[in-house]
């Protein structure tokens, strides 16, 4: 996994926002075609000085909707809670997993049954680096995105 990239929240990242909601089930009539501009930093970032982007490698969180090549937004200012998806450092390597805290036992759980949970031995160090707050994923294959 790559190194986290700090976010430059001083420069807005504008995008168009349609004034209507979209149905993922049955189609609904378009309410309005009004558009406004939004700043993606304001949508994605709660704590600018503690937020980072990171590219995901590997399929261990596939069933949580986090796939190889996706980007995640990681907020270091949030306190990790049981069942949060976290960016952790285990034995010097970054990993993204569900944090499990039960009966005084801390584990990192993958969202893919082909990967084992990460259990900690005495003396082994776990650092919860931050909480994953957003997943950014492409909807087109890389070859199509590059050709556009």
- Return the active site residues: 60, 97
Among candidate residues 71, 72, 76, 81, the one with its CA nearest the CA of residue 47: 76
User: What phi, psi does 53 have (nearest 5°)?
Assistant: -100, 150
Query: 70 burial class (0-12, 13-18, 19+ CB within 10 angstroms)?
Result: middle
Q: What span, in angstroms and rounded, lies between the C-alpha atoms of 39 and 58?
A: 30
3: its two tokens: 């190194």
Among candidate residues 66, 63, 49, 67, the one with its CA nearest the CA of residue 132: 66
């Amino acid at each position: 996994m790559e190194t986290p990239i700090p976010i430059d929240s001083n420069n807005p990242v504008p995008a168009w926002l349609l004034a209507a909601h979209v149905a993922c089930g049955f189609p609904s009539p378009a309410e309005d075609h009004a558009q406004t501009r939004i700043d993606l930093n304001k949508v994605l970032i709660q704590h600018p000085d503690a937020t980072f982007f990171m590219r995901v490698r590997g399929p261990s969180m596939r069933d949580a909707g986090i796939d190889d090549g996706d980007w995640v937004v990681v907020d270091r200012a949030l306190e990790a809670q049981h069942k949060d998806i976290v960016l952790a450092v285990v034995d010097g390597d970054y990993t993204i997993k569900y944090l499990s805290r039960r009966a005084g036992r801390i584990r990192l759980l993958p969202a893919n049954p082909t990967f084992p949970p990460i259990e900690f031995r005495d003396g082994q160090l776990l650092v919860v680096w931050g909480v994953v707050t957003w997943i950014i994923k492409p909807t087109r294959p890389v070859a199509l995105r590059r050709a556009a």
